[in-house]
Amino acid sequence: MLSFGLKSNASVETTAEHISLQATVTSVPRNSKGKVRYNRKAESEFFVDNSALAGFTGERILYMAVRELIENSLDSCESSQALPNISLSLKLLDPMNDIWFISCEDNGIGIPSDKVPVAVCSFLTSGKYVEKQQRGLFGVGLKMIAAFSTKDTDHPLMVWTKSQEEGSEYYFELRTDIGTNKPIVLDKKILKTDQRHIKTESGFMVQAVLRARLSPITKNKIYDYISQTSIVNPYAVLTFQTDEGKVVFDRRTKIMPQPAKEVLPHPSDMDLKTLKKAILNFTNQKTTLTGVLCNSFQKLSSEKAKEIVARSEVGLKVADKYNEHELIKVVNICKQTKFQIPNTDHLSPIGEHILTAGMTSEYTIVTNKQQTHAVEQSQQQLSVKVLKPALTTYSSRVCVVNNRPTIVECGIAYGGDIPSFKLYRFANKIPLLYDEGSDVAREVVSEVEINKMGISKKEVKEQFANPEAKGDRAIELLPIHIFFHICSTKIPYKTAGKESIASEGDLKRNMKICLSDLYRKVSAQIRKELRQKEAESRLHLYKYYIPLIVNAICESIKIDANKLSEAFGRLAERHVKGEIIYSQTIRKEDKITGDKIEEEINEKRESKIVRQNAIQNDNNNHGAIKKGSLKSDPKKNIGSKKKAIGLKPRGGTAGTGGRQTTLDTSEFSKKRSRG
């Protein structure tokens, strides 16, 4: 619904002024009896009213502000291939009124002074409306900050900029005319040397005041966001300062990824609008349609273009003379034509080296929960914890999603300092922190089995038992961090909120292949660790039981307890480490069986004789101790009617010379006497 009216935060005088100004500009139709009023709404007003589209909803205002500023800075540095130095500050100015101060400084390419007002304040004017992989969402981040700052506070936006072309540093004070989408320049000057802020060759700094609430959850999300940004941009130095302290994320590598390049749209994406826009680019140049086609779209050669024009039977004219009906025909033909898969060189993946650099020293912000009673201003409650994993792996795949080439990158960091399972998601190098449940990455993790790599859930549960672990799957119990990054010129987000990625086309399948690949690489290590832990716990078990056994033995026979204990301990250790070879004892056993066989034969003969006299006098050798015998007696069928030849004489041990224990019940019978 189009409407104009006073904003809800009309407590700010200047806003009201602007709106009353606006009211005079657009005339209000009088005598409206059921007539619909059509008014033009400025883009800025639209975006402010529907700030949710850009993610600037009540709770998340500061989170989005931080995001947008950092993303802009990173993009800017990437364009100039300068190793980023970004400094972000977030401080509470007025607790009573929820007034916050945010500032961000970078050493990117800066913005040329003539473009600054519009770039900062006017919505939908941006260098970002091209087919290119980029971080920002709609390109409205800075504008939203400016608009919100204007509507909620009486502080102007302060901007310092120094672009490479201009060389000198400019200072601006700006507000946005929300009604007209136009910037209001309150101050503009070139800075003299002693007033200059930016030390590098080029750079940009913005300071703004916003009204917003910051809940502890959102605060943690901000910290999370910065930590995660550091993982995928480890070549950047990030300095973050709040009322709780200051943290610095160091640069871990000097290598930067190739910047993303602008690319021509793919013809399978063509529709009437894009075709018309393409033709518009060639106005007054008398180019043929063929020429326009092959120059405006990638993977479209002039032969192909000629073919398309011929098939659409629209005749050959100068490009801008075609009418819409004819152009639609061309579009239809294009939709039916098969084109080559677009290439990926315009994309800028993170790359193995950089992601590994980020994964091998993962920074997290830690808040020291110490209660400081005194009114100390410089409380350092924040610190940076670095997690170093035992091993990292990387894998990537290229695929096509919605006719756009997409690169999927996957990384795993395992063990070492890593405490537990966590899934990190990135899209175009931006961390995604919300809506993990509906993200395709979550589905991928649920569906790829690590059990197939010889790691059973039971083992993992036993060894890595963690009462805090929420998940029930084996992978969620391991100390493992999984990183997913998807880069494309258009990320298939699920909702307008842009925090979770949808499972479109081949995306999920490729992600699963990547993850399986990594599981394979990591599983060897995990298995090894599981075995180690198991061996440790077995050794542990021995520690408890050996004393009991030694005690029992020493109670019965005269033997040195210490000597026995030590020997047993050594034996247990060796056993656990699997060093004990049974081959020797098998050889011994052969000798034993040789003896045993003989003994058995003797006993059998004996027992036959005995049986003839009295039933009770069977030789009954119960179990005796054998040394390491692995061979078992030949098995008999159970419960069959075969003749079991009496009770088997159990072989005695060699060495101690056939102990045959006879159960002599004949004594009992001897005692009888017939009366």
Partner 1 sequence: MPAKDKRHQEVVKKIKLIMRDISNDIITGEAMPILDVPKVGYDNTVWSDQKRMLTIGDKKVQVSPDSTKKIPTFTQYIVMASAIRRLLDEEMESTIRGMYYATLSTVGDEKNKQKFWNSQENSDDAIKAVELLTGVPREEFSVTSKPKGMISGPITLRVGGDLIDCNLGSRATSQLIPTNIRDVEIVNVRADFVMVVEKDTVLNNIRKSGFIQKYNAILMTGSGEPDRATRIMVKTLNEEWKKPVVIFADADPWGLGIALRYKIGSESLSYDSHRLVTPNARVLGMLFSDIYEYNIPEVARLDASDEDINRANDMKNKPWLHDKHWQRELNLFLQRKEKCELDAFFKHGFKYLADTYLPQKLRQAGLI
Cβ atoms of 97 and 9 closer than 8 Å: no
Residue 148, both tokens: 């919100």
658 phi-psi bin (left φ>0, alpha ψ -120 to 50, beta other): left
C-beta closer to partner 1: residue 29 or 655: 655
Cβ atoms of 431 and 224 closer than 8 Å: yes
C-beta closer to partner 1: residue 130 or 625: 625
* Chain position carrying tokens 């950089």: 354
Contacts of 56 (CB under 8 A, 6+ apart): 64, 65, 144, 148
Residue 293, both tokens: 């086609």
CB of 554 to partner 1, least distance (A): 9
Q: What is the DSSP letter of 411?
A: E
Angstrom distance (rounded) from CA 70 to CA 75? 9
Cβ atoms of 172 and 161 closer than 8 Å: yes
Angstrom distance (rounded) from CA 560 to CA 512? 61
C-beta closer to partner 1: residue 31 or 673: 673
Cβ atoms of 403 and 417 closer than 8 Å: no
CB of 652 to partner 1, least distance (A): 10
C-beta closer to partner 1: residue 9 or 584: 584
C-beta closer to partner 1: residue 387 or 572: 572
CB of 636 to partner 1, least distance (A): 6
C-beta closer to partner 1: residue 220 or 661: 661
CB of 468 to partner 1, least distance (A): 18
Burial class (CB in 10 A: 0-12, 13-18, 19+), 447: exposed
Residue 150, both tokens: 């204007």
CB of 669 to partner 1, least distance (A): 6
Cβ atoms of 308 and 334 closer than 8 Å: yes
Three-state SS sequence of 159-193: EEEECCCCCCCEEEEEEEECCCCEEEEEEEEECCH
C-beta closer to partner 1: residue 21 or 567: 567
CB of 450 to partner 1, least distance (A): 24
**DSSP letters along 366-405, please?**
EE------S--S----EEEEEE--SEEEEEEEEEEETTEE
CB of 609 to partner 1, least distance (A): 16
CB of 561 to partner 1, least distance (A): 10
Burial class (CB in 10 A: 0-12, 13-18, 19+), 259: middle
CB of 593 to partner 1, least distance (A): 13
Distances, alpha carbon 551 to alpha carbons 540, 546, 559, 560, 626, in Å:
18, 8, 10, 10, 22
Angstrom distance (rounded) from CA 231 to CA 356? 9
CB of 252 to partner 1, least distance (A): 39
3-state secondary structure of 621: coil
CB of 467 to partner 1, least distance (A): 14
Which residue, among 143, 110, 350, 108, has the nearest Cα to 229 in the 3D structure? 350
Angstrom distance (rounded) from CA 288 to CA 273? 18
CB of 532 to partner 1, least distance (A): 15
Q: Where are the alpha helices (DSSP H) in 265-301?
A: 272-280, 289-296
- Quote the strand ranges of 178-269, DSSP E: 182-190, 203-211, 237-242, 245-249
Angstrom distance (rounded) from CA 318 to CA 309? 12
C-beta closer to partner 1: residue 271 or 573: 573
Angstrom distance (rounded) from CA 54 to CA 145? 11
Question: Could you give the maximum distance between any two Cα atoms of the chain, in Å?
Answer: 140
3-state secondary structure of 214: coil
Strand-pairing partners, residue 376, are none
C-beta closer to partner 1: residue 105 or 618: 618
Cβ atoms of 153 and 99 closer than 8 Å: yes
CB of 629 to partner 1, least distance (A): 7
C-beta closer to partner 1: residue 10 or 553: 553
C-beta closer to partner 1: residue 213 or 591: 591
CB of 599 to partner 1, least distance (A): 15
C-beta closer to partner 1: residue 407 or 546: 546
Please report, as a single letter, which amino acid is at residue 224. Answer: D
CB of 458 to partner 1, least distance (A): 13
Taking the alpha carbons at both ends of the chain, their separation in whole angstroms is: 121
C-beta closer to partner 1: residue 379 or 616: 616
C-beta closer to partner 1: residue 38 or 544: 544
C-beta closer to partner 1: residue 37 or 622: 622
C-beta closer to partner 1: residue 461 or 473: 461
CB of 591 to partner 1, least distance (A): 15
